[in-house]
Amino acid sequence: MKEQELLNLKKEIEQSKEDISKLKGRKETLLEQLSKQYGIKTIAAAKKKIKQLEAGIEEKQEAIQAKTVELEDKINERSTDTEEPS
């Protein structure tokens, strides 16, 4: 390898090390935030919490959908009851 190629590789390695360091810092910051806000200490615990929250959201969406259908049925019944015969 030529000297310039080695220098380029060295620069790439240094940049990669810097990027890794930044990403580790971001990860630590996010884990601290999860810990403070939700009491979550690990990524695995965060994934578990996400699944729990998603399940809760799904249940609520289904309940809303059922209530919407029920309300639409009641509205249709009332509009049918209030129509005057021809």
Tokens 């220098």 label which residue? 7
Query: Does one domain contain both 6 and 35?
Result: yes
Check whether residue 17 and residue 53 sit in a common domain: no
> Residue 83 above 90 pLDDT?
no
**Does residue 7 sit in the same domain as residue 28?**
yes
Indicate whether 86 belongs to any domain.
no
**Residue 71, domain member (yes or no):** yes
Q: What is the pLDDT of residue 79?
A: 83
Q: What average pLDDT does the chain have?
A: 92
Q: Percentage of residues in the chain with pLDDT exceeding 90? A: 85
Category of 2 on φ-ψ map: left (φ > 0), alpha (ψ -120 to 50) or beta:
beta
Same domain, 13 and 34: yes
**What is the pLDDT at residue 80?**
82
Structural domains counted in the chain: 2
Domain hosting 64: range is 49-81
pLDDT of 86 higher than 60: no
Residues 2 and 33 placed together within one structural domain of the fold = yes
Q: What is the mean pLDDT of residues 35-56?
A: 94
- What is the DSSP secondary-structure string of 16-67? HHHHHHHHHHHHHHHHHHHHHHH---SHHHHHHHHHHHHHHHHHHHHHHHHH
pLDDT at 59 exceeding the cut of 70: yes
